[in-house]
Each structure stands twice: as C-alpha cells, then as structure tokens.
Amino acid sequence: MSTYKPAEERYETMQYRRCGQSGINLPLISIGLWHNFGGYDDFENAANILRTGFDNGITHFDLANNYGPPYGSAENNFGKIFKWDFKKYRDELIISTKAGWDMWPGPYGNFGSRKYLIASLNQSLKRMKLDYVDIFYHHRPDPDTPLEETMGALDQIVRQGKALYVGISQYNAEDTKKAAAILKRQGTPFLIHQPRYNMMDRWVEDDGLLDALTETGIGSIVFSPLEQGILTSKYLKGIPKDSRAATEGSYLDANQIKPELVEKIQKLNAIAEERGQSLAQMAIAWLLKDDRVTSVLVGVSRVSQLKDNLDALKNLKFSESELKTIDEIILGK
C-alpha cells in the first residue's frame, strides 16, 4: 500500500491556463516522460519527480508509446507509479499518450493508419494500467495516409471511451486547420497541439501555427523549451563531460555547441541574471509570456531541476527592452 500523500496545498501556488476553447485548464508547467522514466533509469527517482510535480500542482503527465528506452518502458514504469501512488487521484490528473513514430516491426507499427493508432493505444492503456487517457495524440503528420483516415481513427478512439480528447503534434498551420475542420465535422473534441518551440527554435511563429490555433480554438503545449539543454547554464563554458551533448547517440550533437552559440548563451544568461532567474527559468518564462501557449512540457532528470523550473513562474513578465535584446542576440534583429 502506498505511503504517498500529496501536499494539501498543491493547488495554491500553481497557475493554470484555459486550453483553447475547451473546459480544460492545464498547469503552466507539465511533466514530459520522454527521458528519465525508461527501463534503464532510476525508478524511485522517476517516482519522486512525479510526486514532487503533483505536490506542486502539476496535474498533467505526458507520455508516448515509444518513450523509454526501450520502447514502451516509460509507460510501463508510469503504470507502476500510477497504481502505487496516483490511482486514487485519477480524477485530478490529465494523462496523455501518443502514437505516430515507429513502435513495432512491420508495416502497421508506424505513422498514422487507423490500425496502428487504435492498436497502439490499446497497448498503451495496458502498460499504464488505465481504462482511458485524457488526451490521445497523433504524434506526427503522415504524408501517405489520408488525413481523413487518421482523424477518423482519433474520432473512433473518443467514441470508444478510450480518450476524452484528442490532439496532434508537429503538424504545420495548414494541416492543423485541415485536421480541425475534419474533427469538427465529426464532433470530436480536438483539444490541443504539441509543437516544438523555444527561444531558439521559432518555426511556429514563422509558420503561423499559433495564429492558426487561436483561429480554431485549440490550445498548445510546447516541448523542448530548453532546446535540449542548450538554454541552461550547462554549456556556458563549453561541453561538460556529463552533458547530453557529450553522450553518444544523444539527440544533441556536440558539433552544435559552437563558440558563437556559447557566446549567445552567455549573453542570454546575463539577461536572466538581471531578471533574478536562471537561464532555464527565463527560457520557460519567455514561452509563457504568450497566452497562446497553454503549458510548457519540461523533462527533468531530478527533483531539484523540476523545482528550479517551477520557480520560473515567479516572474513571467518581460519588458519591451528585454524582448528586443533577446531577439537581437538570437535572431540578429
């Protein structure tokens, strides 16, 4: 029997934001389980991260079928933690998962067919020991499967009671509008879009995605807010041996940490210090300054990182001068 009891004051400090034109409010910071929750990671550390998050009002945990490694292990571990610590608080949680990237061999374990999406969610529910998820995403666009089939699968999943809402990830503005139109005709609750977005990667601005979400009444939850750790103090003096950039097979290539990038990070860090924030806190606050961003997904490897991220919420306001200087540093404007 679990001995975990969440903090009674857990909803007193977290700020929540309406997700598009829905009835759902999401915490400004949500926890992503992409890294640090897999089969090769410290299970108790993972559990402590989720407990600390919930103690601080984080009600949203975000997964995908192939998070790990190995594939499926993050959902497996989450299922154990959920059963032990969070089952009695299920109705206080927003739990999401996704399918769209490779998950199992053969032609039916990838992309966006009805067969793949429905089979994947069935597997995910078993791993997580859940009857349903609150949000089920199509994880990436599929250039070969008709959008009507993919959106039809999402509609079927909701009608089967396996998800309350649906979302998409990494779709551009044009395809997002098309998906929204299909789902609206079907009467499917299209809640949210999950794009990659941070101070250095602004494709959502160039693409007009945020405007498209406002137009269609869809919320957003952004991932990679710290640009794989670049927007932290970690690389202020180069590449530490224990960093992601120094790890073979990492999503962050050491060749990206060039002297001109380090110089930009140092200048951004100086602004953060003037604001009384760490660079990571400023990067999160910069995203949340725009109320079209409903929530920011953070991936942390330890409790102290999560607490540091949460402290970003203490200062979300930027002066025009600060924003202009940040743009000059990053964009050269």
16-228+287-315 folds as: TIM Barrel (3.20.20)
Please report the pLDDT score of residue 155 as a whole number: 98
Please report the pLDDT score of residue 166 as a whole number: 98
CA distances from 315 to 215, 249, 283, 328 (A): 28, 35, 11, 22
Please report the pLDDT score of residue 259 as a whole number: 86
- Specify the pTM: 0.94
> Average pLDDT for consecutive 10-residue bins of the chain (333 residues)?
91 97 98 97 98 98 98 98 98 98 98 98 98 98 98 98 98 98 97 98 97 98 95 77 50 68 94 97 98 98 97 98 98 83
What is the Cα Rg of the chain in Å? 19
Please report the pLDDT score of residue 313 as a whole number: 98
DSSP assignment, residue 90?
Answer: G
What is the chain's length?
333
* Angle of CA points 109, 172, 287, to nearest 5°: 105
Contact 284, 308 (CB under 8 A): no
Say which residue the tokens 């807010």 belong to.
225
If you write DSSP's letter for every residue of 203-235 in order, what string do you get? HHHHHTHHHHHHHHT-EEEEB-TTTTTTTSGGG
